[in-house]
Amino acid sequence: MKATQKGSTKMNSPEQLADPKAARVVSDLNVGKPLLRCCLDPSGKTLFTAGQDTRIWQVPLEETKDAETEMVALTGHESWVFGLAMHPNGELLLSGGGDGNLIWWSLSDGPATQLRKIHAHQAWIRDVAISVDGKVVATAGNDQLVKLWNVEDGRLLNTLKGHEFDIYRVAFHPDGERLISGDLTAHIKCWQIDSGKMLRELHAPTLHRIDKNHNLHLGGTRALAFDSNGKQLAVSGLRAAPNYLGGEVQPGNVIFDFESGDIVKEQKTKEDLSTVPWESFFDGDDTLVVSTGGKADGHLFFWKTDAEQEFHSFALPSAARDLAMDRQRHHLVTAHYDGHLRITSLQSEPPESEVS
């Protein structure tokens, strides 16, 4: 299947500094199906995306303008794919889905091929993450369990029990020794990877509430991000929900000092936009980037961690879901409801090859 690409996807221009205020879409690939997840291989030459069907799409990026690119469908899941994780060596992709399956995909030789498939959870897998050293993969989901797997042979290393609600997100600490998982009630558990012991629990109460009239939990842990040295943890979610069922919900971040466990900043957007955080990254140690999508379509927000409101936001044409960054952190890739992948450059001066 072919994707139509507008603009160039040339991504790495290390000589130029990133500037969020210079954000502009430089390339747009129409995959044709509403998308949920995306990730980028370390070379920046191939994107992987999954959407509202059972397939993962392998999308080669073309540096020439307005090209048609041939996508490869990766089939193996029986439900939507909610978690995609790229191995640091770029030779392996892991995916987890609503079918509870965890699939290893080999990328070492052209089109991805399925290496291994494990029925990992008795419910949705909502997130997949790979450790910094690439040896452990963590999965988490609606059976309220976190599971750790040996990347090399697929062996189950540990099952981490303790959450009482669906687990939405999981993330490794940069120290390589710890892991966190966040659930529907915005409780964040910190685990020791080797022992599986729960070290402590953090809570972001402003990102969860119970509608007592409906007995409905609202909010939850929608994104987790550590800064580069692991001192700060950003938890993104819904800080307000004037009309939850109608999608009038507003995004917010809670910034923790990870060592003390203290909340150091509660963040919100300047405008009360109805939109949901889907993914976040730290750019350096002081800038948090969050992709959002919802009733108010898509946005990229940029916060300084010590400020309550964003210093910049960038509107996107459709609800943005997942977010990936290239290694130089000059380009952001977003997966959208309208079936497009969009590459946003943060570089101030466009190279000649880019379209305006």
Give the interface with other proteins as residue ranges (CB under 8 A): 33-34, 52-54, 78-80, 82, 98-99, 124, 142, 166, 211, 213-217, 244-247, 249, 276, 293-295, 297, 318-319, 337
Nearer to other proteins, 122 or 150 (CB): 122
Cα–Cα distance for residue pair 169/220, rounded to 1 Å:
9
Which residue from 21, 25, 14, 49 is spatially nearest to 35, judged by alpha carbons?
49
Instruction: Provide, rounded to whole angstroms, the least separation between the CB of residue 334 and other proteins.
Output: 14
Cα–Cα distance for residue pair 41/327, rounded to 1 Å:
9
Instruction: Provide, rounded to whole angstroms, the least separation between the CB of residue 79 and other proteins.
Output: 5
Nearer to other proteins, 60 or 141 (CB): 141
Instruction: Provide, rounded to whole angstroms, the least separation between the CB of residue 301 and other proteins.
Output: 18
Count how many Cα atoms sit within 13 Å of the Cα of residue 186 in the half-sphere of its side chain.
Answer: 24
Instruction: Provide, rounded to whole angstroms, the least separation between the CB of residue 215 and other proteins.
Output: 6
Residues in the chain: 356
Nearer to other proteins, 79 or 192 (CB): 79
Which residue from 337, 327, 334 is spatially nearest to 11, judged by alpha carbons?
327
Dihedral over alpha carbons 244, 273, 233, 188 (to 10 degrees): 0
Instruction: Provide, rounded to whole angstroms, the least separation between the CB of residue 176 and other proteins.
Output: 32
The separation between CA 285 and the C-alpha centre of its own chain, rounded to angstroms, equals 18
Instruction: Provide, rounded to whole angstroms, the least separation between the CB of residue 246 and other proteins.
Output: 5
The separation between CA 246 and the C-alpha centre of its own chain, rounded to angstroms, equals 24
Nearer to other proteins, 7 or 76 (CB): 76
Instruction: Provide, rounded to whole angstroms, the least separation between the CB of residue 101 and other proteins.
Output: 12
Instruction: Provide, rounded to whole angstroms, the least separation between the CB of residue 217 and other proteins.
Output: 6
Q: In angstroms, how far is the first alpha carbon of the chain from the final one?
A: 27
Cα–Cα distance for residue pair 86/47, rounded to 1 Å:
10
Cα–Cα distance for residue pair 139/101, rounded to 1 Å:
10
Dihedral over alpha carbons 317, 86, 222, 263 (to 10 degrees): -120
Nearer to other proteins, 165 or 350 (CB): 165
Nearer to other proteins, 53 or 272 (CB): 53
If phi over 0 gives left and psi between -120 and 50 gives alpha, with beta otherwise, what is residue 338? Answer: alpha
Nearer to other proteins, 142 or 313 (CB): 142
Nearer to other proteins, 54 or 253 (CB): 54
